Structure 1
Amino acid sequence: MGLIARAIEEAGVPTLSMSSARDITRSAWPARSVYLDYPLGHTAGQPNKPELNEAIMRDTLAAFESLSEPGSMAHLPYRWADTDDWKDKVFAPMESKKASDDSPEYDDDRVARYDTPQYQTDDDQTAAEHSHDGEECLVCVGIDY
Structure 2
Amino acid sequence: METAGIATVVIGSALDIVTWCNVPRYLHNDLPLGNPLGAPYDRTAQRKSIETAFQMISQMREPGVRMSDLAWPDGEDWKPVYGEVTEENRERLLQMGQENRTRRATDKAQGLKR
Would you call these one fold, judging by a TM-score over 0.5?
Answer: yes
RMSD after superposition: 2.7
Deviation for aligned residue 1:83: 3.3
Work out whether 1:119 is the aligned partner of 2:109.
no
TM-score, L = length of structure 1: 0.56
Partner of 1:88: 80
Partner of 1:76: 68
Equivalent pair of 1:67/1:73 in contact (CA under 8 Å)? no
What does 1:25-44 correspond to in 2, within 5 Å?
25-44=18-37
TM-score, L = length of structure 2: 0.70
Partner of 1:141: none
Q: Report sequence identity in percent.
A: 23
- Shift in alpha-carbon separation, 1:26–1:38, aligned structure 2, 3 A: same
> What 5-or-longer segments of structure 1 have no aligned partner?
1-7, 97-106, 121-145
- Shift in alpha-carbon separation, 1:82–1:66, aligned structure 2, 3 A: farther
Larger Rg: 1
Equivalent pair of 1:67/1:74 in contact (CA under 8 Å)? no
* Residue identity opposite 2:16 in structure 1: D
Q: Which structure has the highest helix share of the two? A: 2
Partner of 1:56: 49
Mapped to 2, the partners of 1:11 and 1:95 lie a distance apart of 48
Mapped to 2, the partners of 1:61 and 1:27 lie a distance apart of 22
Deviation for aligned residue 1:78: 0.8
- Within the candidate set 7, 10, 13, 1:20 is matched to 13
Q: Which has the higher contact order (CA 8 A, sep 6+)?
A: 2
